[in-house]
Amino acid sequence: QVQLQQWGAGLLKPSETLSLTCAVYGGSLDLYYWSWIRQPPGKRLEWIGQINHSGSTNYNPSLKSRVTISVDTSKNQFSLNLSSVTAADTAVYYCARVVGGGLQKHWGQGTLVTVSS
C-alpha cells in the first residue's frame, strides 16, 4: 500500500518561498501523476498542480506564475515551491497520488503553512 509522507516549513513571512517535499513509500513514481492540493482555513480544496516521473507538469492557471513542482526519482520524492507568499497562501497543503485521470486516491498527512509577519 502506497504511503505519502510530507514535510516542510510551517511558518513563513510574506514574500518568502514556500517549500514542501513529499516522499512516496511502497510504490514507484512511475505510471502516475503526483499532485499538490491546498485547503485554506474554512475554505474549499484547491488543486495546485501535478507532475509525473519524467517531470511533465500541469499547474492551476491562478497560481501558475508562482508555482514550481519538481520530482527527484532517485529519492522517490516530489516537491512544491510557491514563491512570494502572502497571508492568502495560509492553508493546509497536501500531496497526493493521482489516478484515473484526476482522482486523488492516496494522500499525505497534510502540512499547515501559515504566512504571517
Partner 1 sequence: EIVLTQSPGTLSLSPGERATLSCRASQSVSSNHLAWYQQKPGQAPRLLIFAASSRATGTPDRFSGSGSETDFTLTISRLEPEDFAVYYCQQYGRSPSITFGQGTRLEIK
User: Least separation, in Å, of the C-beta of 65 and partner 1?
Assistant: 15
Q: Could you tell me which residues come within 8 angstroms of residue 1 by beta carbon, excluding any fewer than 6 positions away?
A: 26
- Residues that bind partner 1 (rule: CB under 8 A) add up to a total of 21
By CB under 8 A, residue 41 contacts partner 1: no
User: Least separation, in Å, of the C-beta of 78 and partner 1?
Assistant: 15
DSSP summary character for residue 64? T
What's the CA gap between 98 and 95, in Å, rounded? 10
What's the CA gap between 24 and 86, in Å, rounded? 29
What's the CA gap between 79 and 24, in Å, rounded? 11
Contact 85, 18 (CB under 8 A): yes
Binder to partner 1 among 68, 81, 107, 114 (CB under 8 A)? 107
Residue number with CB closer to partner 1 (61 or 74): 61
Residues 45-104, interacting with partner 1 (CB under 8 A): 45-47, 50, 58, 60-61, 94, 96, 100-104
Binding positions for partner 1, rule: CB under 8 A: 43-47, 50, 58, 60-61, 94, 96, 100-105, 107-110
